[in-house]
């Protein structure tokens, strides 16, 4: 008997986020996206393909390359998978932006607050980074979460030239889920967006 291929395959969405202190909410977010009809890829859930011949970072970046759309969540915790200058989550953000994937971003209020407070110390007038370092504190565990946020908002690109840089601030899971429903709840619309941007 000949195999029957699906005529309407699910869109594959990569969900990139740090996990510490967020696992239950991350699971809820991925669950909601599944109910919308997406195939959800997330490393913490074990749904990102792990290649035996690749590092964890390489497997995650490959998933970003292969997904149809991307959801990045910037939180006060930078992540434990720091390899070189950036965490795996940060590399996933950068890969999605570089590949011009259809993408949506959420940022925790504490990251925005920390950025507003520390921006005068972290950045020169030409937007280049200073050597400012952050001491250990209970709000954000690594100043590079602000760099990750800046990558998402395309801070170094002139405002008129930015595209796909909307980053929605949230504090509660209810706010995050409301944003997801408004942006990703209509799968047919998202399919159109993906097609217009050159994704399947």
* Residues 101, 63 contacting (CB under 8 angstroms): no
pLDDT digits (tens, 9 = 90+) for 122-181: 988 888 889 998 888 888 999 999 999 999 999 888 899 999 999 999 999 999 999 999
Q: Tell me whether strands 12-17 and 39-41 are parallel, antiparallel or unpaired.
A: parallel
In a domain, 200, yes or no: no
Which one has a higher pLDDT value, 47 or 127?
A: 47
Cα–Cα distance between 1 and 22 in angstroms, integer?
46
In a domain, 6, yes or no: no
In a domain, 199, yes or no: no
Q: Residue 73's beta-bridge partner residues?
A: 17, 106
Non-local (6+) Cβ contacts of 55 within 8 A are 83
| pLDDT confidence bin for 195, thresholds 50/70/90 | very high
In a domain, 198, yes or no: no
Give the mean model confidence (pLDDT) for residues 47-65.
95
| Length of the chain measured in residues | 200
Task: Find the domain containing 99 and state its range.
Answer: 12-191
Cα–Cα distance between 15 and 12 in angstroms, integer?
10
In a domain, 134, yes or no: yes
CATH number of 163's domain: 3.40.50.450
* Residues 55, 83 contacting (CB under 8 angstroms): yes
* Residues 21, 79 contacting (CB under 8 angstroms): no
Q: How far is CA 105 from CA 68, 120, 162, in A?
A: 15, 24, 14
Cα 56 off chain centre by: 16
In a domain, 5, yes or no: no
In a domain, 160, yes or no: yes
Domain count of the fold of the chain:
1
Is 13 in a helix, a strand, or coil? strand
Q: What is the pLDDT of residue 177?
A: 97
Query: Looking only at Cα atoms, what is the longest distance across the chain?
Result: 67
Evaluated on CA atoms 89, 92, 96, 97, the torsion sign reads: positive
Q: What is the pLDDT of residue 7?
A: 55
In a domain, 170, yes or no: yes
Cα–Cα distance between 79 and 56 in angstroms, integer?
13
């Amino acid at each position: 008997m000949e195999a029957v291929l699906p005529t309407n395959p699910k869109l594959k969405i990569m969900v990139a986020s740090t996990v510490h202190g967020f696992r239950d909410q991350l699971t809820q977010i991925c669950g909601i996206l599944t109910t919308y009809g997406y195939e959800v890829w997330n490393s913490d859930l074990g749904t990102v393909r792990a290649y035996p011949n690749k590092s964890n970072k390489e497997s995650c970046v490959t998933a970003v390359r292969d997904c149809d759309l991307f959801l990045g969540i910037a939180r006060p915790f930078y992540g434990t998978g720091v390899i070189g200058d950036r965490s795996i989550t940060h590399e996933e953000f950068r890969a999605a932006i570089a590949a011009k994937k259809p993408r949506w971003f959420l940022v925790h209020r504490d990251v925005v607050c920390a950025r507003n407070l520390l921006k005068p110390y972290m950045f020169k007038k030409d937007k280049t980074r200073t050597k400012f370092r952050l001491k250990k504190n209970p709000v954000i565990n690594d100043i590079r979460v602000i760099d990750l946020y800046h990558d998402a908002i395309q801070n170094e690109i002139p405002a008129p030239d930015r595209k796909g840089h909307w980053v929605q601030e949230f504090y509660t899971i209810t706010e995050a889920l409301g944003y997801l429903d408004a942006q990703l709840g209509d799968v047919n619309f998202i399919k159109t967006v993906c097609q217009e941007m050159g994704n399947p």
